[in-house]
């Protein structure tokens, strides 16, 4: 039977396909940075999260250290409770750090930026970030600007 | 008849609105060569398909080795088919396999024999139809006659006790015909195989048939030994045996009168 | 007059529903027909070879050209916003999410699907399937099921290869010819493409497409009218229905995935 060469060809095909998967995983996605190693969860409450979405990046000094894993509305305070997964090797973020929602560029996607504080104790799994700054909503900003201008002129 | 291998009992079969058989009764006796002859288009091939359980009758029963194939379970039917062989008119060889693999098919799929044993069995079967040298050819490289001999070897692989031949002589050269005739006869005599032969080659068929059914217009019009049938005085039988266009068996397909078709009043 | 037209519409929709049911039963009997253990590897490998490797060259070529075209078009469009650095993101997302699964599936329907139909149609026309039944072997497990599983595995694998080739094709045009910064191209891509959300979703999509194409092509082949005209109709139907099914289900799946977010 010619089955031997058939198996070789099929085996090669499987190897090429699997290699493609590996290339896609490590060369073209951030597979290695988010899906390997341990993570821990921290929550933060915002009055307005703007366009923040699940899987939006979490950064310190512009370096991605985690992702948004859950967004829920707190039905008592009407704040958005955001759960963040932070990579396990960044485990010494001071507990008085603050979280703000920023926009990448003028019209880019929202992300969470963490500004480290000075406390000795570190954020651990399940902790909440107390100090938060909500997203800047462009429309509101423009509204405020116009209001200020007009009120100045009238007075 | 208790010693019947296969029985068609009151079979009615309808295909695309046309009534092919109406209350057909045929009995295939064990160990004999039974021939079913009739003009083309009368449904001889369909009869073999009914016997093989490939199609089911609208009414009536088909019993093979005592089992009713309309109602038996699929596993029983496939066991029954192992005891039957059907030689298709064009051979129906598997076109993506070589001659060797075609003949080895049943052994490969249904048994766990080692490759060396499969090889020996296949070579023996191919030798018996005179095609041992062709074992490496692909099916597309075979002539029609060779294809049918390979198909015969494939069908005989597990030595079925009931063989159904669909027009085995049509389109064969005289040598092939003679070889096939001898082969069918030997199988029948040496192995006690029951054979059903469907054909319109009167001469060859009557030479080997023990029992003959003449099928015209959806019913059996005559039956008996070859000699009895050829001596029947029924006009329809005589017309068929002598090859006359005019007679009770319609040579023309049903049509409106030709005067009307041509516009002549 | 009106009445008879209504009657015809009714009859046609009834026969359409009956066809669907027939195809569904066929699919069920294919999926549930068990291939004997010792025959699984040889039979499925053979079909993987026919469906997968025979379609490999056309898939690679198509992937390469499509990647190059998207690179070229994307570059010129993005350049208008001075955002050509984002080419990597645009290319990778459009290939991995949409173009890869869909175009690989359309090629597969034309290349492998039509040949499955023609092959089965020929086997039915020349009595090979009946002959197999008479030899005591059920063609469902011997002929149809291996083709089903082989093709079902082959398309997602082809899609992965298509994705990689297309992205390298795009990078050839964008980075090497048009001068997009190599670092920005790849890191931009890495920052937006997600393994689970984008790559695996694409693979899942192509699995669904493979299922549809194989189902349609095997059904059309197995039940085609046993003559030359019936076979040509069945092959055409496979390509037409297969392609339409791929595009329609692409929309449905995309809507489902996007809606989930």
How confident is the model over B163-207, as pLDDT tens digits? Answer: 999 988 887 788 888 888 888 888 888 888 899 998 878 888 888
What is residue A136's DSSP assignment? P
pLDDT for position C164? 95
Asked whether residue C26 is assigned to any structural domain, the reply reads no
A114 and A85 in a common domain: yes
pLDDT above 70 (res C260)? no
Asked whether residue A51 is assigned to any structural domain, the reply reads yes
State pTM to two decimals: 0.80
In 3D space, the residue among C240, C239, C249, C244 whose CA is nearest the CA of residue C207 turns out to be C249
Q: Please give the Cα distance from C115 to C101 (Å, whole number).
A: 20
Asked whether residue A80 is assigned to any structural domain, the reply reads yes
Query: Which tops the pLDDT comparison, B122 or A136?
Result: B122
pLDDT for position B3? 78
Give the count of alpha carbons within 13 A of C160, CB side only: 23
A61 and A1 in a common domain: no
Rg over alpha carbons for chain C, rounded to the nearest Å, is: 22
Beta carbon pairs, B and C, within 8 Å: 60
Distances (CA, A) of B73 to B70, B78, C87, C143: 9, 9, 63, 22
A43 and A6 in a common domain: no
Across C89-100, average pLDDT: 92
Tokens of C69: 């075209």
pLDDT for position C188? 82
- Which ipTM value was assigned to this complex? 0.85
Within 8 A by CB and 6+ apart from A6, the residues are C45, C46, C49
Asked whether residue C243 is assigned to any structural domain, the reply reads yes
Which of B17-26, B205-214, C153-162 shows the highest mean pLDDT? C153-162
A17 and A79 in a common domain: no
Write out the H or E segment, with its range, that includes residue B175: helix B174-191
Rg over alpha carbons for chain A, rounded to the nearest Å, is: 23
Residues C185 and C84 sit within 8 Å (Cβ to Cβ) = no
Interface test with C, best of A5, A10, A18 (most C CBs within 10 A): A10
Interface test with C, best of B92, B110, B159, B163 (most C CBs within 10 A): B92
Cβ of A9 within 8 Å of Cβ of C53? The answer is yes
Asked whether residue C94 is assigned to any structural domain, the reply reads yes
Asked whether residue A145 is assigned to any structural domain, the reply reads no
Q: Please give the Cα distance from A22 to A78 (Å, whole number).
A: 43
Asked whether residue C250 is assigned to any structural domain, the reply reads yes
List, for residues A136-147, the tens digit of each pLDDT value.
777 778 888 888
Is some CB atom of chain A closer than 8 A to the CB atom of C49?
yes
Asked whether residue A79 is assigned to any structural domain, the reply reads yes
Across B25-37, average pLDDT: 89
Q: Lowest mean pLDDT: which of A109-113, C111-115, C151-155, C172-176?
A: A109-113
Spell out which chain A residues touch chain C, with contact meaning CB-CB distance below 8 angstroms. 3, 6-7, 9-10, 13-14, 16-17, 20-21, 23-25, 27-31, 35, 53-55, 57, 64
pLDDT above 80 (res A119)? yes
Confidence class of residue A53 from pLDDT cuts 50, 70 and 90? confident
Residues of chain B neighbouring C131 (CB-CB closer than 8 A): 86, 88, 92-94, 151
Rounded-to-10 torsion of CA C94, C97, C101, C104 = 20
Of A10, A16, A30, the CB nearest to C49: A10
List, for residues C43-75, the tens digit of each pLDDT value.
999 999 999 999 999 999 999 999 999 999 999
Spell out which chain C residues touch chain B, with contact meaning CB-CB distance below 8 angstroms. 38-39, 119, 122-123, 126-128, 130-138, 142
Task: Tell the burial category of B2 from Cβ atoms under 10 Å away from its Cβ (0-12, 13-18, 19+).
Answer: exposed
Confidence class of residue C151 from pLDDT cuts 50, 70 and 90? very high
Identify the residue whose tokens are 């979405």.
Answer: A53
In 3D space, the residue among B170, B135, B171 whose CA is nearest the CA of residue B150 turns out to be B135
Which of B61-75, C73-87, C137-151 shows the highest mean pLDDT? C137-151
pLDDT above 50 (res A104)? yes
Confidence class of residue C261 from pLDDT cuts 50, 70 and 90? very low
Average pLDDT of every residue of chain A: 83
pLDDT for position B1? 45
Restricting to C residues 29-48, those with a Cβ less than 8 Å away from any Cβ of A are: 42, 45-46, 48
pLDDT for position C143? 93
A15 and A84 in a common domain: no
Asked whether residue C2 is assigned to any structural domain, the reply reads no
Count of domains observed in chain C:
1
What is residue A137's DSSP assignment? P
A119 and A53 in a common domain: yes
Residues of chain A neighbouring C53 (CB-CB closer than 8 A): 9-10, 13
Query: Which tops the pLDDT comparison, B204 or C150?
Result: C150
Distances (CA, A) of B243 to A90, B87, B224, B237: 98, 26, 20, 10
Beta carbon pairs, A and C, within 8 Å: 71
Asked whether residue C89 is assigned to any structural domain, the reply reads yes
In 3D space, the residue among B147, B53, B166 whose CA is nearest the CA of residue B103 turns out to be B147
Average pLDDT of every residue of chain C: 91
Cβ of A28 within 8 Å of Cβ of C42? The answer is no
pLDDT above 80 (res A2)? no
Residues B123 and B135 sit within 8 Å (Cβ to Cβ) = yes
Cβ of B109 within 8 Å of Cβ of C142? The answer is yes
Confidence class of residue A121 from pLDDT cuts 50, 70 and 90? confident
Residues of chain A neighbouring C160 (CB-CB closer than 8 A): 17, 20-21, 24
Cβ of C136 within 8 Å of Cβ of B88? The answer is no
Of C38, C127, C136, the CB nearest to B92: C127
Range of the domain at C147: 33-258
A43 and A12 in a common domain: no
List, for residues B58-105, the tens digit of each pLDDT value.
888 888 888 888 888 888 888 888 889 999 988 899 988 899 999 999
- Paired residues of A80 in beta bridges: A46, A73
pLDDT above 90 as % of chain C: 69
Q: Please give the Cα distance from A137 to B106 (Å, whole number).
A: 75
A80 and A19 in a common domain: no
pLDDT for position B252? 62
Asked whether residue C198 is assigned to any structural domain, the reply reads yes
Q: Please give the Cα distance from A56 to C24 (Å, whole number).
A: 42
A53 and A8 in a common domain: no
Asked whether residue C205 is assigned to any structural domain, the reply reads yes
In 3D space, the residue among C173, C197, C171 whose CA is nearest the CA of residue C184 turns out to be C171
Of C45, C194, C196, the CB nearest to A10: C45
Min Cα distance C135 → chain B (Å) is 6
Asked whether residue A152 is assigned to any structural domain, the reply reads no
Average pLDDT of every residue of chain B: 84
Range of the domain at A115: 35-139
- Count the Cβ atoms, other than its own, within 10 Å of residue B205: 22
pLDDT above 80 (res B138)? yes
Cβ of C45 within 8 Å of Cβ of A7? The answer is yes
pLDDT above 90 (res C171)? yes
In the sheet with A128-129, reading across from the earlier edge strand, the strands are: A128-129, A39-46, A79-87, A63-74, A57-60, A110-115, A98-103, A131-133
Of C122, C133, C135, the CB nearest to B106: C135
pLDDT for position C247? 96
Count of domains observed in chain A:
2
pLDDT for position B250? 61
Query: Which tops the pLDDT comparison, B235 or A2?
Result: B235
In 3D space, the residue among C22, C24, C31 whose CA is nearest the CA of residue C141 turns out to be C31
Within 8 A by CB and 6+ apart from C12, the residues are none
A43 and A28 in a common domain: no
């Amino acid at each position: 039977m010619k089955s031997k060469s058939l198996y070789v060809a099929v085996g090669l095909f499987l190897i090429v396909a699997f290699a493609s998967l590996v290339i896609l995983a490590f060369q073209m996605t951030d597979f290695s940075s988010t899906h390997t190693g341990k993570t821990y969860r921290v929550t933060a409450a915002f009055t307005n999260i703007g366009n923040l979405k699940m899987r939006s990046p979490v950064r310190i000094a512009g370096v991605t250290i985690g992702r948004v894993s859950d967004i829920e509305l707190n039905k008592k305070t009407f704040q958005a409770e955001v759960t963040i997964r932070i990579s396990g090797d960044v485990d010494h973020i001071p507990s008085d750090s603050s979280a703000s929602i920023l926009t990448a560029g003028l019209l880019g996607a929202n992300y969470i930026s963490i500004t480290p504080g000075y406390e000795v104790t570190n954020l651990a799994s399940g902790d909440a970030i107390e100090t938060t700054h909500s997203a800047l909503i462009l429309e509101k900003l423009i509204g405020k600007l116009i209001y200020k201008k007009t009120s100045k002129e009238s007075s | 008849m208790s010693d019947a291998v296969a029985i068609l009992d009151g079979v009615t079969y309808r295909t695309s609105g046309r009534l092919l058989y109406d209350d057909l009764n045929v009995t295939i006796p064990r160990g004999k060569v039974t021939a079913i002859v009739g003009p083309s288009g009368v449904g001889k091939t369909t009869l073999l398909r009914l016997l093989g359980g490939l199609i089911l009758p609208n009414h009536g029963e088909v019993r093979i080795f005592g089992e009713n194939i309309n109602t038996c379970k699929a596993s029983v039917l496939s066991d029954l088919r192992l005891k039957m062989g059907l030689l298709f008119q064009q051979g129906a060889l598997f076109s993506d396999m070589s001659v060797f693999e075609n003949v080895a098919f049943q052994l490969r799929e249904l048994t766990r024999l080692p490759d060396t044993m499969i090889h020996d069995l296949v070579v023996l079967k191919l030798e018996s139809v005179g095609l041992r040298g062709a074992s490496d050819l692909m099916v597309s490289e075979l002539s029609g006659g060779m294809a049918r001999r390979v198909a015969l070897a494939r069908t005989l692989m597990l030595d079925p006790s009931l063989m159904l031949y669909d027009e085995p002589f049509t389109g064969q050269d005289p040598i092939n015909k003679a070889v096939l005739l001898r082969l069918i006869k030997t199988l029948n005599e040496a192995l006690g195989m029951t054979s059903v032969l469907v054909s319109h080659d009167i001469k060859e068929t009557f030479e080997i048939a023990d029992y003959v059914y003449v099928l015209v217009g959806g019913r059996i019009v005559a039956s008996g030994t070859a000699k009895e049938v050829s001596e029947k005085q029924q006009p329809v039988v005589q017309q068929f045996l002598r090859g006359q266009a005019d007679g009770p068996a319609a040579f023309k397909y049903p049509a409106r009168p030709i005067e009307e078709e041509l516009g002549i009043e | 007059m009106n009445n008879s037209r209504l009657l015809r519409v009714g009859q046609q929709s009834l026969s359409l529903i009956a066809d669907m049911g027939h195809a569904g039963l066929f699919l069920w009997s294919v999926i549930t027909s068990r291939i004997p253990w010792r025959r699984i590897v040889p039979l499925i490998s053979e079909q993987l070879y026919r469906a997968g490797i025979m379609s490999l060259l056309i898939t690679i070529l198509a992937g390469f050209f499509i990647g190059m075209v998207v690179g070229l078009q994307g570059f010129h469009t993005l350049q208008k916003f001075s955002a050509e650095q984002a080419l990597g993101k645009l290319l990778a997302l459009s290939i991995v999410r949409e173009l890869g699964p869909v175009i690989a599936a359309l090629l597969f329907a034309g290349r492998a699907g039509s040949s499955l139909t023609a092959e089965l149609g020929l086997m039915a026309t020349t009595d090979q399937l009946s002959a197999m039944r008479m030899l005591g072997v059920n063609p469902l497990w011997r002929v149809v099921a291996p083709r089903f599983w082989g093709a079902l595995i082959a398309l997602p694998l082809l899609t992965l290869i298509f994705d990689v080739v297309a992205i390298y094709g795009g990078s050839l045009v964008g980075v090497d010819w048009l001068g997009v910064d190599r670092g920005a191209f790849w890191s931009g891509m890495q920052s937006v493409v997600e393994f689970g959300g984008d790559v695996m979703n694409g693979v899942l999509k192509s699995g669904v497409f493979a299922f549809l194409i194989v189902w349609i092509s095997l059904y059309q082949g197995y039940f085609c009218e046993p003559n030359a005209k019936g076979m040509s109709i069945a092959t055409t139907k496979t390509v037409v229905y297969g392609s339409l099914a791929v595009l329609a289900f692409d929309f449905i799946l995309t809507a489902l995935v996007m809606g989930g977010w």
